[in-house]
Copies of this chain bind each other. A is one copy, B any other.
């Protein structure tokens, strides 16, 4: 089963006179009409600031906004869900609100070479402020993490930051092992789940993770919103990050007291329409058999990668069952930037470049890759057309 493509207005779009084949889903996903409609409904019928006024629209807006939080908590089985502008802000929030309060000089933050810049730079910035050490788990030839190196790197580690699923390789990391091992030495674990949550309903509590970061726009929700999930224990050890309206209990010239719920970390007028759109996306996902869809997409990715390989491409990925449908590849005789332009001329949207994961690409020994990433509305037919298009380009320009 494929989700009804007619649910996604953009799929009717023509690109340079050709039918759009959108294969840049790891960058951002398309939105079903229900998501767009939910935001329109807010703006056209009950746009109002939340938490503050007693009038009817303020009540409706507040209920809608907070019901997104409830939906999110239920979907992920999480005690605390703090809204942020996306994965990046979520990780920065963890670094500021928890890291600054709980890390001490000499403590180690352990990351992986597979991290997205959003899970590296916040810790580098924090290391500029605190005297903490940063370490990285290497990636092996088979595109998986070097778990022996991980085991050997745990000395002094207080926090492990690991990407659930790589946006370049599609590889899903053994977070269960990493969490268990990290906890056994008393370290906390932050999961960058930006690429994990679109494909799978993750049970945060059961996963045992301490933090989990995500973006709505990568799971059919709007831009401008995401979340940091945290356990109650972590929540209680976080200090306010940004100050302002809505996060305070009282303000005097001498000092302030803060809310004791998630609002404490959501200063200012929140992302109201965005939360409402995200809830609609989660409700939409709830009607999809995500596991079946995921298998279907991984099959497509596997087929695509083997076809590309037959055409002479080097493939960066492995397409086991739990991995994401992300195909990174390179041709010796065709620059990826050229390929992307030629494909664009034929209606195909793929991504090329460093994918905000320069350390990983350095480890792979390349400057960038071409990446085709599939999502719920993509079909096997599109994969076939994509391979045909690549063949055409190779014949013409290869």
Give residues in A with beta carbon < 8 Å to B.
Answer: 9-10, 13, 15-16, 20, 22, 24, 27-28, 30-31, 35-36, 39-40, 43-49, 52-58, 85-89, 91-92, 113, 116-118, 120-125, 134, 136, 215, 217, 222-225, 240-248, 250-253, 255-256, 267-274, 337, 340-341, 343-344, 348-353, 356, 358-359, 362
Contacts and interface: CB of A to CB of B under 8 A. Distances in A.
Closest 8 CB pairs of A and B: A88-B268, A121-B243, A88-B244, A118-B244, A245-B356, A27-B49, A55-B349, A92-B242
Contacts of A20: 57
Contacts of A40: 36, 40
B344 A55 contact: yes
Contact of A89 (B16, B242, B340): B242
A206 B56 CA distance: 42
24 contacts: A9-B44, A10-B44, A10-B45, A15-B55, A24-B48, A24-B55, A27-B58, A39-B39, A85-B268, A86-B268, A89-B268, A92-B241, A92-B243, A92-B244, A118-B244, A118-B268, A120-B253, A121-B256, A122-B244, A215-B268, A222-B273, A224-B273, A252-B362, A274-B274
A215 B272 CA distance: 13
B224 A271 contact: yes
Contacts of A43: 9-10, 31, 35-36, 222
Contacts of A86: 268-269
Nearest to A53: B351
B349 A53 contact: yes
Contacts of A215: 268-269
A328 B351 CA distance: 53
A372 to B, nearest CB: 11
A29 to B, nearest CB: 9
A124 B258 CA distance: 12
A145 to B, nearest CB: 15
Contacts of A10: 43-47
Given A47-B10, A57-B15, A224-B274, A88 B269 contact: yes
